[in-house]
Structure 1
């Protein structure tokens, strides 16, 4: 927020004066000092009088606009910077409270923490950095919850009386603490600032200041706001419960946020003499929320998951880090999903160091580019590779999974959420929607995931990944032209007398059979892009109700980033099991080939070498070892199960 606000200040100053750069900077520094002093005085004064009198004595945003006629010529009267909150904004914000308690069963105090995500409103700032009267944050206190329902019931019922006062409302009056010493930096910036305004809780209004620690980079603001006060400030009762000995008379409120700043397009950058670096940076500060807000396992949020194909309980880490550039986002990931998974016969998955490049300004190309038959064609929002429909020697992995044909070349198992591993390399072949589903509180486990019953059919599916050309991949439920939720179906079907054994060659595109085009994409509005965007679909069914080949995408309508195609263990194949790097104890979790090698009269190393992969090529191995495929299948061990 600071960087955009700074540019707006500069824009205004350069438009009103021909002063030298030195005098401008001096004026800005003086203005900043004045702002801080006035803010300190304002807060001290306002706390000494009835908050209802505030609007009578404080200039409104419109008063500020009337003070400078020159500004009116440059800017539209609407806000030039805005941040929206709410379920449709795409911005993340959560309200927390913290209270120290002494529980009867514990020797020392603990910190009780509750939260709610039910927050609406927004912040709207004019050209002078003044928030307008619509800058309000509404917090639904009736949805507050913690780890103790009895505490929640008392807090909502007795302390807050949410039946009478369901919301906390913060009306923002001032924004203070801009650090003007870094005016011309275009780099990532950490800073502190304050939001000053009227906080209403439990029917009582007080002037309060939120202290904010935030990081700003390329239009995205991420950080935490906090303030503390005694319960008595808002006539609230300190919680009194039989299992709580005492509660400190101090409550801390926090707002965790990760938001995009929107810049009003009505600014006329050509009407006045504006430094080039300012106009360029303002133009650059419009990143698409698709490429900043969609990622899971980011922001240092630790997500540990288990491989259900092994006998031990692992703690593999799902991790994603993104770095924006002018035309792409660089995604660093471990290749581990955010849900428990099954490696399957190619056991066992491990954390891998991936770096993907996703274009952020994809354009429809006149000609399509075919995706690889096998290997990575896209990534999920957890940084896990999405593979094409084929597996191993060329059979359709998903058709086999649904028993369309019987595999006689090599076994294929697809586990939770349509994914499995080729040695260390976990990837998806279809579905992948369960990354937005969590079984906690449902009485279910990850193995209970079933897209036929677990998917929410009442709302537009979220983004589940990005193709290598930069276009997003959504789940199977989208909007029609009236924004009614419908299932988006594939337009592919099996050729006559085919069953998927031949992989991609067994399928044909029939225009109009379903909703998607030959690449399995469609142009339509989405929650993130209401005006419409081309995107691929994680199709579950085709227009005839059969399986939805190609499940993700078969070709690209944009220009794919070529560097992504040599990742995911897809070119020269992942290392053999006896060559794997990483945790040395992982070998004991893989199938034990000692007995199988003994039956064949060879060493385990010779057997693994013959099998190749992963995944193993049983047909080739049988030929090398001089046995039949059936004999080899009989003695090859399955991965250990829990």
Structure 2
């Protein structure tokens, strides 16, 4: 059973300044030029207190690869958001073990604590794998967008479990390496931990997330919220149309001479194949932006799970 402890407009300790967005169009001599001034919200510190502080779930998952009860319980203290969960997904999953993933899903002891007053900074911190947890979906399943796989410069020596090579293998967006991910863009680590590399489709479906909703799906390590796929077309206007949000990473145009052959490993196979190009999408280098959401109508920095690279944030912009 799920419980939602949030109402639009709940608990915002800091008012944000908003600049109105408009366009200036100049026409003359058959030439039209357009200058856009985009909406800007000054987000420094926000409280997330009162938003989904009592989210809880406990139901038996009868998926063939699970056959166990999924539990996830969130609560808020005076200054932290706390999670206790067992790492069992609350939605249908693919077959595990499978050809690309020989591991079985087992219960975990998940205990996380995030600040209720995240602070956006001007710098970013890369997380993931041994560098720390990126964040957690509300169902208690961890986010780990990268992989432990890599190739050496020649491309003759590649491993899905050894990150000693210079070229880090991506789990999604390529068809050379198979990590056994299911329709939820998830698979299982050797210790039995089920985790997401990309869009958690099954969970989003359970939340009713679709093109008509801006759907909060989890919390990042720095305490800022994570949304799935859709956001407001005008970041500062909750009455604007909802659109598909895209990341701002593009395939590199200058391919390193030391890279394994693109004839074998198409661009996009490796993390190093992508570069952040400001303004090419909707989001910053950490797959986030400042804007309004249903839970934070005055605006807050927040992340997105996207269908485009990097799928989930690979870094965080808040203080840790």
Return the TM-score normalized by structure 2.
Answer: 0.69
Q: Helix, strand or coil: the match of 2:294?
A: coil
How much does 1:558 deviate? 0.4
Structure 1 counterpart of 2:118, from 362, 369, 372: 362
Distance 1:346 1:356, change over 3 A: farther
- Counterpart mapping for 1:127-138 below 5 A: none
Residue 327 (structure 1) aligned with residue 79 (structure 2):
yes
- CA separation in 2, counterparts of 1:363 and 1:261? 19
Aligned to 1:428: 196
Is 1:558 matched up with 2:318?
A: yes
Equivalences for residues 524-563 of structure 1 within 5 A? 524-540=291-307, 548-560=308-320
Contact 2:58 2:72 in 1 (8 A): no
Task: Give the alignment of 1:465-480 within 5 angstroms.
Answer: 465-480=218-233
Structure 2 partner of 1:499: 267
Q: Distance in 1 between matches of 2:171 and 2:222?
A: 24
The 1:262–1:473 alpha-carbon spacing in structure 2 relative to 1, beyond 3 Å, is closer
TM-aligned CA deviation for residue 390 of structure 1? 2.8
Distance 2:272 2:246 in 1: 20
Q: Indicate how the Cα distance of structure 1 residues 396 and 320 shifts in structure 2: closer, same or farther if over 3 A, else same.
A: same
Distance in 1 between residues matched to 2:103 and 2:50, nearest whole Å: 36
1:317 is matched with 69
Correspondent of 1:341 among 77, 87, 93? 93
**What CA distance in whole angstroms lies between the structure 2 residues aligned with 1:507 and 1:538?**
17
Whole-angstrom distance in 1 between the partners of 2:48 and 2:248:
33
User: Within 1, Cα distance between the matches of 2:117 and 2:71?
Assistant: 25
CA contact (8 A) 1:491 1:516 kept: yes
1:433–1:472 Cα change, 3 Å = farther
Are the equivalent residues in 1 in contact too, given 2:291–2:299 (CA < 8 A)? yes
Q: For the Cα contact (< 8 Å) 1:431–1:538, is it kept in 2?
A: yes
Q: What is the alpha-carbon distance in structure 2 between the residues aligned to residue 514 and residue 261 of structure 1?
A: 28
Provide the C-alpha distance between the structure 2 equivalents of 1:262 and 1:523, rounded to a whole number of angstroms.
18
Q: For 1:531 and 1:474, how far apart are their aligned partners in 2? A: 16
Larger Rg: 1
SS at match of 1:303: strand
What is the CA deviation profile of residues 416-460 of structure 1, one whole-angstrom value per residue up to 9, with x for unaligned ones?
211111131100000014213149xxxxxxxxxxxxxx9621232
Which residues of structure 2 form unaligned runs of 5+? 14-46, 151-167, 256-265
Q: How does 1:618-637 map to 2 (within 5 A)?
A: none
Tell me the C-alpha RMSD between the 2 structures: 2.9
Q: 1:555 to 1:430 in 2, by over 3 A?
A: same
> 1:526 Cα shift?
0.5
- Contact 1:492–1:549 at 8 Å: present in 2 too? yes
Q: Per chain length, whose mean CA-contact separation is higher, i.e. which structure has more relative contact order (CA < 8 Å, sep 6+)?
A: 2
CA-to-aligned-CA distance 1:253-306 (integer Å, 9 cap, x gap): xxxxx889979x9xxxxxxxxxxxxxxxxxxxx96232415x3xx1xx531214
Partners of 1:456 and 1:262 in 2: CA distance: 23
Other structure's SS at 2:296 match: coil
Closer, same or farther: CA 366–553 of 1 in aligned 2, 3 Å = same
Distance in 2 separating the partners of 1:327 and 1:524: 23
Among candidates 383, 405, 410, match of residue 140 of structure 2: 383
Aligned equivalent of 2:60, options 304, 308, 332:
304
Match for residue 115 of structure 1? none
- Corresponding residue number in structure 2 for 1:456: 210
Q: In 2 relative to 1, CA 433–528 (structure 1 residues): closer, same or farther, beyond 3 Å?
A: farther
2: CA distance, partners of 1:430 / 1:262: 29
TM-score by length of 1: 0.36
Change (3 A) 1:468 1:347: same
Distance 1:321 1:493, change over 3 A: same
Q: What is the CA–CA distance in structure 2 between the aligned matches of 1:262 and 1:518, rounded to whole Å?
A: 29
C-alpha contact (below 8 Å) 1:417/1:434 kept by paired residues: yes
Ranges of 4+ aligned residues in structure 1 off by more than 4 Å = 258-263
Q: Distance in 1 between matches of 2:133 and 2:149?
A: 13
Secondary structure, aligned partner of 2:311 = coil
Question: What SS is found at the alignment partner of 1:534?
Answer: strand
SS in structure 2 at match of 1:417: coil
Residue number in structure 2 paired with 1:490 = 247
Counterpart secondary structure, 1:505: helix
User: Unmatched 5+ residue regions in structure 1?
Assistant: 1-90, 93-219, 221-257, 266-285, 440-453, 541-547, 561-642
* Equivalent residue number for residue 515 of structure 1: 282
Is 1:377–1:467's contact at 8 Å kept on the other side of the alignment? Answer: yes
